[in-house]
């Protein structure tokens, strides 16, 4: 993320490679349309809210925000760029 070394293999990008690549990784929560059943209307909403608050306790603001959306930027050398494009989830995937 500093533009000086490949974040994947640590190769020097300024000395060993003529070009470097920037990769943006964005992960967002996928939401499906909400379906409300009759039993949902009978739930104790106060308890559901209390459960959500309890689940969030101890998490930082960043952790809570990244439950919805997270973004990272990486610098890659040409060989690592090619590898990520061919196998974004690593060898054997």
**Model confidence over 31-84: pLDDT tens digits?**
888 788 877 777 788 888 899 899 899 999 999 999 899 999 999 999 999 999
Residue 74 lies in a domain: yes
Average pLDDT over residues 13-17: 81
Q: Which domain holds residue 65?
A: 13-30+43-86
Measured between alpha carbons, how far is 48 from 53 in angstroms, rounded to an integer? 9
Measured between alpha carbons, how far is 93 from 90 in angstroms, rounded to an integer? 6
Residue 4 lies in a domain: no
Could you identify the residue written with the tokens 């608050």?
53
| pTM score | 0.69
Residue 35 lies in a domain: no
User: Which pLDDT score, from 0 to 100, does residue 50 have?
Assistant: 93
Joined tokens for residue 68: 């919805």
What is each CA distance from 3 to 22, 67, 87, in whole angstroms? 8, 28, 22
């Amino acid at each position: 993320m500093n533009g000086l070394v490949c974040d994947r293999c640590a190769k020097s990008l300024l000395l060993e490679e003529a070009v470097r690549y920037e990769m943006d990784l964005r992960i967002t929560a996928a939401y499906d349309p909400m379906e409300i059943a009759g039993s949902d209307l009978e739930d104790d909403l106060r308890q559901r809210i209390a459960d959500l608050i309890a689940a969030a306790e101890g998490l930082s603001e960043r952790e809570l925000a990244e439950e919805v959306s997270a973004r990272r930027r990486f610098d890659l050398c040409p060989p690592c760029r090619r590898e990520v494009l061919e196998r974004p989830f690593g060898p054997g995937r």
